[in-house]
Amino acid sequence: MGLRPNLLTRRTAGVASTTLALLLSTAAVGVVPAASAFSAAPSGSCAEPADVHSDARVKKGGHAKLDPNALTAKQVRERDADLTAALRERANFRAGAGATPLATVTIPVVVHVIQRDSTRAGGNIPDSMVTQQIAVLNTAYSGGTGGAATAFSFQLTKVHHVTNAAWYPIVEGSSAERSMKTSLREGGKNMLNIYLGELSDDLLGWATFPQRKLNSMDGVVVLSESLPGGTATNYNQGDTGTHEIGHWLNLYHTFQGGCSGSGDSVSDTPAEASPAYECPTGRDTCTGTGKDPITNFMDYTYDSCMYQFTAGQASRMLTAWNAYRAA
């Protein structure tokens, strides 16, 4: 199984390579903005990206009819320009209110278990799997499996079981998905809503990026059997949730943009030409410095292979939180 034994040891031993103190600046340390990010919003205002784009995690061989797996270069430029404008707006607001940016964040979480019926085969997973998923998130985002500690922790506030065959399976981009989220979503921009169930098109999950105005589609969708103890072989240690919440906190895939341009807009993740699957030790698809970041949570490798965020990713997430989701 290649790296699996060593990586599993790191996941349980918890070796963090950086400290939270390094991540608390509100500047986008380690972030490489698109070339037009600052010039696109010189006056501090910028039209919010028109799409509510979602980013998915896909099994090897999987596909999505609408291919929600990557952004275009134009979408990246729009998102990074919007982040710049949002940061300027929030800085002006905080200056007037005498408030300071958040340095640590506890995210309240509501989990909606979407099921066809009351059976496990019909989506009715036990609440214990949800509790274990929250534990995985807290370990991953604290740097407990290796890599950088981030500013984030997660607190489960509610598990909501919903029996509705019309929403099962959850189909990405469908009117049924919109109906489900419009009916069920709770809280403000700082509330993480997770929707669990069987998913369409062999997808493991998808998520929305943050926006300045709360949209009813905001949240994360995850294959229920990808939770710890689930039946999704090689993807059942809970890291689909880790990956999708990374998108919800404004991270791109490590392979975004391939080998050229600003890539994933983070300077300390080596460029990667395409998604990595399974655990291809030593893979190196770009000529730049560093081998492919196959152990990064924002790639597509097996759960047993991925175990870390970088300091630049941690900083980007905190910057985006203070721009978009902070109260």
Active site residues: 244
Dihedral-angle region of residue 307 (phi above 0 means left; psi in -120 to 50 means alpha; beta otherwise): alpha
274: exposed, middle or buried (C-beta count within 10 Å: 0-12, 13-18, 19+)? middle
Burial 5-37 (b: 16+ CB within 10 A, else e): eebeebbeeeeeebebeebbebebbbbbbbeeb
Q: Please name the residue that has the structure tokens 């205002």.
A: 45
Q: Please name the residue that has the structure tokens 């460029």.
A: 271
Structural tokens at position 130: 């949800």
Q: How far is CA 41 from the centre of its chain?
A: 26
* Non-local CB neighbours of 181 within 8 Å, separated by 6+ positions: 193, 195, 216, 217, 218, 219
